[in-house]
Amino acid sequence: MSPTIAFTFDLEDHRPDRAVERRYVAIVEPLLDDLDEWGVTGTVFVVGDLIAESPDLIRSIAERGHEVGLHGTDHSPLPELGPQRFRADVEAFTESLASVTGRPVLGFRAPTLSLVPASAWAPEILAELGYVYSSSVLPARNPLFGWPEAPAEPFRWPCGLVELPAPVVRLGPARLPMLGGVYLRVAPSALVKWAHRRLRHHPAPWLYAHPYDFDPDEVRWAMPLVGRMGKQIMWWGRRRMRPRVRGLVAGSDLTLAAIASRHADAPVFHPPGTT
């Protein structure tokens, strides 16, 4: 039998500036209807800046039974924020998110999975602010952010916060988070099925996606830093994302908070350089 994979979603507005049309609300509303139809409740991580902009959408997400967590402040990677600003922003956004949803905020996901050695100060701050778990580490080498020395299965930080790292599969020398974002969109179906089978025994399997992954009609805009190939990949496979996600998570009612509660006594990982 296939494992139940948790559906997770990073609610963000990936436009480079306000001159480009805002699309995330129009994409997420019908997606929420689809999730209802597929019998899926999961975890949605919201970028702090969107809480004041779209409270009705966020309230609707919570009312449909999804867990709502925080996805950073303005989607800046954690090393760019530094601990002081991180603490202040997370404290403020956590309060406003809890007041919109009427529920405590238990989980955090770092933008671009940017919990890396340079931002290893973050777990302690999250624990102090009442967070129970984080889902912020990519335990692999990656051109953007990754922490290849971190455990690939659930662990605890020395402060007690549970970490649910991105589930990765080995493909040659690489460890890839195949069940999410660009990997899930661009991979051939056979590779997705293979990754799904390989993750059968993972103790905390989750899939991740973003609004734009489900938006085949978005006009292409000049994306900085990614180059021509990167731009192709950002728009590639969006039309097949819906059926793929449905095939992987239909019927799943697992939230990351529920998974984290199973790993409350996971082994402690001491980042190198700490004791």
Name the site residues for Zn ion (rule: CB under 5 A).
Answer: 10, 12, 111
User: Which one, 12 or 215, has the nearer CB to Zn ion?
Assistant: 12
Q: How far is the CB of 95 from Zn ion (least distance, A)?
A: 21
User: Which one, 12 or 89, has the nearer CB to Zn ion?
Assistant: 12
| Residue nearest to Zn ion as judged by C-beta position | 10
Strand pairing class (174-176; 169-171): antiparallel
Q: How far is the CB of 29 from Zn ion (least distance, A)?
A: 19
Q: For residue 37, what are its two tokens?
A: 């139809």
The answer to whether 97 and 59 are in contact (CB under 8 A) is no
User: Which one, 157 or 208, has the nearer CB to Zn ion?
Assistant: 208
- Spatial separation of the C-alpha atoms in residues 103 and 122, rounded to whole Å: 22
Strand partners, 206: 6
Q: For residue 77, what are its two tokens?
A: 């990677």
Q: How far is the CB of 144 from Zn ion (least distance, A)?
A: 11
Q: For residue 189, what are its two tokens?
A: 């179906």
Q: How far is the CB of 111 from Zn ion (least distance, A)?
A: 5
Q: How far is the CB of 71 from Zn ion (least distance, A)?
A: 6
User: Which one, 113 or 266, has the nearer CB to Zn ion?
Assistant: 113
Strand pairing class (107-108; 133-134): parallel
User: Which one, 5 or 78, has the nearer CB to Zn ion?
Assistant: 78
Q: For residue 73, what are its two tokens?
A: 């402040």
- Beta strand spans in 67-161 (E): 67-70, 107-108, 133-134, 155-156
